[in-house]
């Protein structure tokens, strides 16, 4: 039997993934699996440029509006949901298009992203009480061969490393070796990956147009509703571009006249980080200038 194929379309924010994904899916009897870490949340619509109801009526979409804004989504939960969606779509005999630009979630289609170490809440609380210096000392005591490339200046990474060593009874080197032997979550699939890109000047114009559309579409009112619903109980959602600036406006830290410029500036910074991540973290893939695309068939080369 031929190996099944996952088509994956990525690229930086505002590059034009949504419309090209829709056009390709319509032309190829496909359904779309979202790989965007903010589209999970119900109510986060304008600030995330979530596909509209009309766009979602054109093509079935999956992994959008999975949870309330106060709930946390992590990559392990995402992989489980993505595997289920992929199998269901394949079972209907339809093609599958994964699209989005959230790096860690995107990487789950190409490489293992989480190990099987379970950390109890009790252990997590015990480690959380330690200072970074004490946690590093404990790690050294548990890892006679050294800590490898662990960034000991990063408290979060130190905490996670110590939790996993204590919970598993293994060293960091042993954990790393076990992790490297894991198959990726979609090991049985052939991945056909394309990245869209545009010149910095083009992206700049598109970012400014997107921000203007968000604000015309009542982004401020959307954030007001989400704050009342508990947005700030979910730091990942509350710190998302578009939302954090409006929250700063509400708190008197930003003038309304500065809002559009602040969102655009932070979006440009995100695009810069995305481009670096795509170049360094993704496997070999096609890169296509979005303004040169003419037909959906041009997206994927094989």
Tens of pLDDT, residues 50-60: 999 999 999 99
Beta-carbon contacts of 265 under 8 Å, excluding residues fewer than 6 positions away, are none
Confidence of residue 216 (pLDDT cuts 50, 70, 90): very high
pTM to 2 decimals?
A: 0.86
pLDDT at 182: 85
pLDDT at 201: 95
Percent of the chain with pLDDT over 90: 84
Average pLDDT over residues 230-240: 94
Domain assignments of the chain as residue spans, ordered by start = 5-112+184-298, 121-180
Confidence of residue 180 (pLDDT cuts 50, 70, 90): confident
Average pLDDT over residues 134-159: 93
CATH architecture of 5-112+184-298: 3-Layer(aba) Sandwich (3.40)
Region of 175 please: left (phi>0), alpha (psi -120 to 50) or beta.
alpha
pLDDT tens digit string along 109-130?
998 887 778 889 899 999 999 9
pLDDT at 118: 86
């Amino acid at each position: 039997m031929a190996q099944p194929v996952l088509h994956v379309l990525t690229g930086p924010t505002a590059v034009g993934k949504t419309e090209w994904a829709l056009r390709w899916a319509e032309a190829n009897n496909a359904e779309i699996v979202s790989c965007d870490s903010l589209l999970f949340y119900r109510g986060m619509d304008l600030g995330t440029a979530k596909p509209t109801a009309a766009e979602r009526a054109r093509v079935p979409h999956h992994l959008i509006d999975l949870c309330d804004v106060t709930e946390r989504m992590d990559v392990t939960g995402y992989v489980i949901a993505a595997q289920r969606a992929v199998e269901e779509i394949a079972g209907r005999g339809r093609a599958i298009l994964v699209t989005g630009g959230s790096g860690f979630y995107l990487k789950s289609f190409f490489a293992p992203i989480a190990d099987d170490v379970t950390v109890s809440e009790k252990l997590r609380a015990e480690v959380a009480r330690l200072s970074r210096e004490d946690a590093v000392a404990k790690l050294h005591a548990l890892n006679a061969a050294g800590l490898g490339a662990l960034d000991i200046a990063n408290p979060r990474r130190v905490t996670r490393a110590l939790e996993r060593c204590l919970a598993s009874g293994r060293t960091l080197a042993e954990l790393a070796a076990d992790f490297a032997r894991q198959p990726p979550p979609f090991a049985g699939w052939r991945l056909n990956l394309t990245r869209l890109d545009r010149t910095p000047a083009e992206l700049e114009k598109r970012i400014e147009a997107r921000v203007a559309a968000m604000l015309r579409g009542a982004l401020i009112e959307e954030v007001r509703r989400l704050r009342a619903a508990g947005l700030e109980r979910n730091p990942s959602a509350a710190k998302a571009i578009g939302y954090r600036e409006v929250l700063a406006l509400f708190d008197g830290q930003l003038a309304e006249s500065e809002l559009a410029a602040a969102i655009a500036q932070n979006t440009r910074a995100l695009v810069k980080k995305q481009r670096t991540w795509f170049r360094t973290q993704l496997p070999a893939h096609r890169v296509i200038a979005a303004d040169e695309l003419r037909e959906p068939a041009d997206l994927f080369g094989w």
